[in-house]
Structure 1
Amino acid sequence: MVALDGPSGTGKSTVARRLAADLGARYLDTGAMYRAAALGVLRAGVDPADAGAVLATVEGLDIHIGTDPGAPTVTLDGADVARAIRDAPVTSAVSPVSAVTEVRALLVAQQRRIIDDAAGIVVEGRDIGTVVAPDAPLKVFLTASPAQRAQRRAIQDGVQDLAGVRRSVERRDRLDSTRTASPLRPAADAVELDTTELDATEVLAALHELVAQRGLLVVAPGMSAQRGRP
């Protein structure tokens, strides 16, 4: 297993999917689970700041995450929501929803079941190395400058207001790093990788080097797994 943590705009999703595909492993985007929960809360007309109502709503949701790195899926109560969970209202709601301790406990349990069922998996999120899978053989915490992260996020979302995106990114950082349940922080034994001056290919190369150093699963194109479990 490979655990990739870090704030938004560091390139986690891009490199996590590519790494999983290269390794012949599964891929889990835990952030998509929290976004699906936030979407369910909004669709139910519940205030994301009302922890009790949020928990009651999330307990009744059916959230499913597909783990094929070539075609990851997200469904909420049987409907495809892969695009809907990226909408601005969901982005605003996901931090307060994910800050509810009991909600995190529910989704972490689901994440651990997915990890346990996989022969090898690359998992991305904000608390994988510290909470979800503290025994992961490789933990990497991606960082980047706030300016670079905002620029990447603006390009990804097709937004012109770079200053507004940066404020949103910094607000999410504050909320995620100061919440009581599973705050955003690197694990004590995580490798920290600054991606500010690196493109996705360079980050991926660095991750492959770390995987090889740890003796984890390495798959050549068109070949089956050679050894170990990612």
Structure 2
Amino acid sequence: MSFLGLSEHLLKSRIITIDGPAGSGKSTVSRELARRLGWSFLDTGAMYRALAFAAAEAGQDLADEKDVAKLAGRQNFEFMPKSEGIKVFLDGRDISSEIRRPEVTASVSRIASSPLLRSLMVEMQREFAKKAGDVVTEGRDQGSVVFPDADVKFYLDAAAEIRAKRRAAELEAAGQNADFQEVMKAIEQRDRADKSREVAPLVCPKEAVIIDTGNISIKQVTEKMLSELKEKI
């Protein structure tokens, strides 16, 4: 290895990826793991939401993916790493709360299913990691596509019914109506969409440590991860 290559290797940030289906607990666990480690946390969903929000605000139809891509190129998105998540700015304006609106959430899957727009998101995520130092990142394609050479990969899963109960509880805690059957149906639809899309479908990454989160607490999941990390990092 050349001196330059050695230097680049020593300075390389460490990356932990956490993938899994909706409601598997990956966002909460990722945030807690990042806090325990003192690393940055990359909320990839926030990036998809930011573009969806910008398109909606500009009156841009998401079906016109080329125009949405051009819009993304004109906008100045900033994603500031924080241990508790990331702050999202659009042209200098903090939109961290606005991107959590239900109407924004409903349009995210249309961006995720577009090869062109998804490639833009992957580029943003990799750029974030370059600037953030050591990173815990969560999503559906982090270990398989975005960071295939990550230091450690985890895959979280749980039965659909358990995941639906969690999502319903989250909605109720946020003051929103949550009919369990509707939430269950939405979870199943999202699972099918995530696993069947042509671009970066949800899969368990090679070499990933699989954790069933169905009957254990966030603290227990985090402790399992920390135990694995002692041997791998």
TM-score range, shorter chain: 0.7 to 0.9
Aligned residue runs from structure 1 range 183-198, under 5 A: 183-198=201-216
User: For 1:23-70, what per-residue CA distance to the aligned partner results, in whole angstroms no more than 9, with x for missing partners?
Assistant: 111111111101111111222222333333332333333222221113
2:153 is paired with a residue whose SS is strand
* Contact 1:55–1:100 (8 Å) recurs in 2: no
Distance 2:72 2:163 in 1: 30
Distance 2:110 2:66 in 1: 12
2:29 maps to 1:50: no
For this pair of structures, how many residues does the alignment match? Answer: 215
1:122 is paired with a residue whose SS is strand
Q: Partner letter of residue 198 of structure 2?
A: T
Deviation, 1:71, is 5.5
Q: Which residue number corresponds to residue 224 of structure 1?
A: none
Give the gaps of 5 or more residues in structure 1: 217-230
Q: Which residue number corresponds to residue 88 of structure 2?
A: 74
1:73 is paired with a residue whose SS is strand
The structure with the largest alpha-carbon Rg is 2
Distance 2:74 2:169 in 1: 35
Deviation, 1:109, is 1.4
Deviation, 1:79, is 2.1
Q: Which residue number corresponds to residue 139 of structure 1?
A: 153
Q: Which residue number corresponds to residue 225 of structure 2?
A: 207
Distance 1:71 1:90 in 2: 18
2:37 maps to 1:19: no
* Contact 2:159–2:214 (8 Å) recurs in 1: yes
1:48 is paired with a residue whose SS is coil
* Contact 1:140–1:191 (8 Å) recurs in 2: yes
Give the gaps of 5 or more residues in structure 2: 1-14
Distance 1:110 1:160 in 2: 33
Deviation, 1:133, is 0.6
State the TM-score, normalized to the length of structure 2.
0.86
Q: Which residue number corresponds to residue 182 of structure 1?
A: 200
Distance change in 2, residues 1:71/1:90 (3 Å): closer
Q: Which residue number corresponds to residue 3 of structure 1?
A: 17
Decide which structure has greater helix share. Answer: 2
Distance 2:137 2:85 in 1: 15
125-134 or 52-61: bigger deviation: 52-61
Select which of 103, 112, 126 maps to 1:89: 103
Q: What RMSD over aligned residues (CA atoms) do the two structures have, in Å? A: 1.6
Distance change in 2, residues 1:7/1:64 (3 Å): farther
Distance 1:199 1:13 in 2: 14
Q: Which residue number corresponds to residue 162 of structure 1?
A: 180
Q: Which residue number corresponds to residue 64 of structure 1?
A: 78
Deviation, 1:105, is 1.5
Q: Which residue number corresponds to residue 149 of structure 1?
A: 163
* Contact 2:31–2:85 (8 Å) recurs in 1: no
Deviation, 1:20, is 0.9
Distance 1:133 1:51 in 2: 24
2:49 maps to 1:35: yes
Which runs of 4 or more aligned residues in structure 1 lie more than 6 Å from their structure 2 counterparts after TM superposition?
A: none
1:124 is paired with a residue whose SS is strand
Q: Partner letter of residue 18 of structure 1?
A: E
Select which of 141, 145, 152 maps to 1:127: 141
User: For 1:102-126, what per-residue CA distance to the aligned partner results, in whole angstroms no more than 9, with x for missing partners?
Assistant: 2121221121122123331111111
Q: Which residue number corresponds to residue 111 of structure 1?
A: 125
* Contact 2:52–2:111 (8 Å) recurs in 1: yes
